[in-house]
Every structure is written in C-alpha cells, then in structure tokens.
Structure 1
Amino acid sequence: MKVVAVINHKGGVGKTTLTANLGAGFAARGQKVLLVDLDGQASLTISFFTQSEWTADLLPEKTIKHWFDRIGSDNAESPAKLVSTPPRVQDKLARGTGRLDLIAAHRDLTDVETNLAAELLSAPGRFGELHGSLRGMLAHDDFADYDTVLIDCAPNFGLIAKNAVAASDLLLIPTKPDYLSTNGIDSLGLKIRSFVEEYNEHSEVPVERPAASVVFTMVQNQNGAPIEAQRSVISRIEAREVPTFATTIRDSKAVYGPAPEHGVPVILGGTGRAATRELRDMVSELSGRLERIAP
C-alpha cells in the first residue's frame, strides 16, 4: 500500500478535484483505492455521495471523526466499518477489477481538531499517539488489500493534517501557478520538516519525511501550453529545484463544475477530452513515482 496526502494550507487550488480524479483513475486501472476525507467541508465526500446520503447514511457512524473519537479508548472495532463504497462510481468500474472506497468527513472535524489539541496541551507525552492515529488506522490488517490511499486534507496545517503527513509516503501539493498560491510552498515545506523531526523525537516508531512534489492546477492553456504569465511562475518554481510534476491540470469550470453533482469524477465521466487526457497522464506520472518509493 502507498499513501498519498493531497495537501496545501492554501484553499481553492483544486485539492479535492485532484484527489477524486486520481482515486477514480487508479481504480479504473484495476487498483483497490481508499479515499480519506479529512476536511470538515466534506467536498470530497459529497463529490461521491449526495448530501442526503452523507447525512442519513454516513454521518451517524461512518466518518473519519469516529476513528479520531476512539483515540485513547480500548475500542478494538475494525476501522474497516467506517468505509463506504460510492455506488455511482462503482457502477462505472463494474466491468473491471478496480474498486474505489471512501471514509467520509464529518461536519465537526474542526471540533475534533480543537479537542485533540487540548488533549495534547494537557498531556504532551501523547504526541506520538495523537499524531500517529491515522497512520495506525491505515496499518490495520483489514486495510492490507488496498493498493493506494489518497487523503484529502483541509487547507491548514493542524493536528489532523499532521496525522496525514505522518501516514504518507508522498505529499502531493496542488498549486495554482500564480504569485499568491506559490508563495507558501517553502513555508509548507519547512512546517513539514519541523513536524517530522518533532514526531520522531516523541514516537517509538520514527517515520521518514515523505517526498513532496508540486502539481500545477487551474492552469490556463493557450495553443496547448500554459499562458505566458503562468509559464513564468512555473519556470521560477522549477528553477528553485522544487520537485514538480510534468503534467499540469487545466482550469475548466465547465468540465469540472458539474461532476460532483453526478457523483462521477471527470476521468470516468466521458466529458472534456483534454481534461480527461491530462488526468490520465497525471495518474500515470504519479503511479511511476509511487513505484519508485521503497515499500
């Protein structure tokens, strides 16, 4: 199993859209994929389930909040009970061997974050336990059959996002190629490095700092390439030797906007040929990088 966290402490850069399409793309290639929604806004969850399905079927007992609520308890119930399978995507995948599952977000994840931070403040010795909870969940035997896990993080670097970093083999940083969006890349990198060092000081099982790479999203294309202003930003980031993906993801509200309402990501939906081609290229490129990461 390889775990990828899609993370950026800036919002509005296409994290959820990328996560949904990568997950569906891997599943279309025959993989068993698990998506984990760590954002209380639940955009990833409601990209696959209707609002009423989320409220009635998932919120009562099938969300990531229910896992975090167990921290420190003796509850040995399998985390696999939190997993749901989006029906409309599974219909699209029915002819193949792939599968896409999801652990939903909860509206109260912000409260969970606050409560966990308070616990850490009162008991600093629990640092490893509180920050390694998600890592422990994904290591459960019931999750051993998954090939890839994709984690959609909220636009912050709080305790829950740090759980995602501690659990991951690779960090994918979606970034719009403009000054404001790229300005925080170095800051995020420093925070990640500092957190991993602190985690290893407090944990009996240290982790490697996950590899991190930028993927440029919401790109405006002209004649098959990013417009000059965005190309200039991309070149500056590459010149700083920041790891980046060669594939870029275009800005297409007409293609991406309606997809969540239908519960099927663009990569499976058969609309927007250029966008679909880019997404498939991105799946291939990410797959290659994951294969090079030692188990």
Structure 2
Amino acid sequence: MNYEKNMRVIAVINQKGGVGKTTLTVNLAYGLSLHGKRTLIVDLDPQSHSTVIYGNPHSDKTLNDILLSNSFKIEEAIYPAIINNAVVKNLFLLPSNIRLAVAAEQVSSRVHREKILDKALQKVKDKFDIILIDCPPTLGVLAVNGIYAAQEFIIPITYSRYALDGVADLFSIISEVKETKNFPYKIVRNAFDPRTTQTNKFIDTELETVKDKVAETVIRRSEPVNQAAMSGMPIFLFDPKGYGAEDFRILTEEVLNG
C-alpha cells in the first residue's frame, strides 16, 4: 500500500445493501472529475452498476482478468468513462460484470488473495489523483481486497431504523485487514427526508458517539437522483440545477478538503 503521497484510494463500503454505495460513487467520481482530478472508479461489485453507467461498450477486459491472472496488465482493463457515447474528461473506469462473483470464488483459497487488487493498483499509482472503489454489499474476498487497497473509507448509511446494523462488524473487519483501529473514515448520511422527524432524530442520536467521523454533507432523498441512475447518468448531467446535484457538489468539496 505504498501509494504516491498525493494519490488517495477511497473505498465506498457498507455490507448493508440499499444504502446508495454506487449512487454515491458514480456521482462523487463525476464531481471530482469536474474539479480536474483524474479519477478512477474500481467496480468491485458483481452487480456492476458503476460499469452500467460509465462502461465503454468495447471493454472486453475487466476486473475479472486481474483476479484470475497474475500476469494480466491492469492498464488493459482501464477505460475512459463514457456517457451518451461521449468520453468524460478526467474520469476512468475499471469495469466488472456478473462473472466477477465466480472469479472471486476461484481466488478465495489463494495465498495473499486480499492483496490482488492492491498489487494491481500499485502499477498505475502515478496515473490518478483519486481512486474510488465501489465495494459489494458483502464482506467476502472482494470487499477485503477493497479494504486492503484503500487508504480511507466512506460509509454511506440511510435514515432508517436499522441504518447502523452491521457497522460495528464492518469496523471490526477493516481493523483486522488494516491491522489498526485508527483508520480514516467518514459516514455519509444518505436519502435524508425531513418529514421522518423521529427516525432522523434517532439516527442522529446514534451517531453522536462518532460525530467527528460523520460528514457534514447530508444527501437528501431526491427522485431525480434515482431517475438519473435509471437513465445511466450522473446527477450533474441529469438535473444540474436540482438539490441532488447541489448535495453531491458540496460532498465533493468536502471530500477534496478532507
């Protein structure tokens, strides 16, 4: 994990599904690219939703090849991000597909299997300013690769009664993989709805013990954000003047200043 000092590797992770990991990743990545940061998305989720949004239709090489072959060159699987058949400046994608789950099973018994992604990223460490790893909603070998490669973590949660379920287990796994309890992370509150006052109060009370680790930015529940994802676009392009884009613009600045 000897990355260039100025390059950041951030894992977006939570083993709980439906918290907006991919939505956060694809929109944050686009925001970072707008700031001139050469940004790479690593789609570590076999559902490959980041790949669906930014994927190059000609990308026949994927993250699967990196997992299955020690001699595979990572550069062959990194593509410029594409939106509406146009290249997105400063944004790149290391794609995946549903076969990534099979590839993960095949490497699960390999020695140092948790280091595969990190070793590959070391070879392109001078080409990017920020790498965002879109982790799967499990804590298997894929997520462990993301954890090992990451320098810092973004943990999205939603405003629901069970929002923090499993976060303690996640912290435990990260501590074990990183061999320290002092790893940098930020919890990002997603899908905030001002109408659910009691639930919001409950979640904010639960977060009091880690309030210095909670991002100031709150991502509000926004139908355009959902529609943007279904349309295969970042919110910055789908609804640039809406409050969804505003929230992700603020989050981008907070991450840059973090």
The residue aligned with 1:221 is: 194
Aligned-residue CA RMSD in angstroms?
A: 2.3
Larger radius of gyration: 1
Output aligned runs, 1:10-89, within 5 Å.
Answer: 10-49=16-55, 53=57, 57-58=58-59, 61-71=60-70, 75=71, 77-88=72-83
Shift of 1:179: 2.6
Percent identity, please.
25
Taking the aligned partners of 2:38 and 2:85, their CA distance within structure 1 comes to 11
Shift of 1:210: 3.5
Taking the aligned partners of 2:21 and 2:206, their CA distance within structure 1 comes to 22
The residue aligned with 1:103 is: 94
Shift of 1:89: 7.1
Q: 2:243 aligns with which of 267, 271, 274?
A: 274
Counterpart AA for 2:41: L
Taking the aligned partners of 2:166 and 2:181, their CA distance within structure 1 comes to 22
In the alignment, structure 1 segments of 5+ residues that lack a partner are 121-125, 198-206, 290-295
The residue aligned with 2:204 is: 234
Indicate if the aligned counterparts of 1:247 and 1:282 stay in contact, CA closer than 8 A. yes
The residue aligned with 1:264 is: 233
- TM-score, normalised on structure 1? 0.78
The Cα offsets for residues 59-109 of structure 1, whole Å up to 9 and x where unpaired, read as xx32100100113xxx2x53111012223278485xxxx510101112111
- TM-score, normalised on structure 2? 0.89
Query: Match of 1:19, SS?
Result: helix
Query: Match of 1:105, SS?
Result: coil
Moved more, 270-279 or 9-18: 270-279
Output aligned runs, 1:237-256, within 5 Å.
Answer: 237-241=207-211, 243-252=213-222, 254-256=223-225
- Give the paired residue count: 252
Moved more, 79-88 or 38-47: 79-88
Shift of 1:49: 3.5
Distance change in 2, residues 1:115/1:268 (3 Å)? same
Indicate if the aligned counterparts of 1:255 and 1:272 stay in contact, CA closer than 8 A. no
In the alignment, structure 2 segments of 5+ residues that lack a partner are 1-6
The Cα offsets for residues 184-238 of structure 1, whole Å up to 9 and x where unpaired, read as 21121012112223xxxxxxxxx9964122111111135xxx7342133123212
Higher strand fraction (1 or 2): 2
Taking the aligned partners of 2:237 and 2:33, their CA distance within structure 1 comes to 10
Indicate if the aligned counterparts of 2:175 and 2:181 stay in contact, CA closer than 8 A. no
Taking the aligned partners of 1:34 and 1:89, their CA distance within structure 2 comes to 19
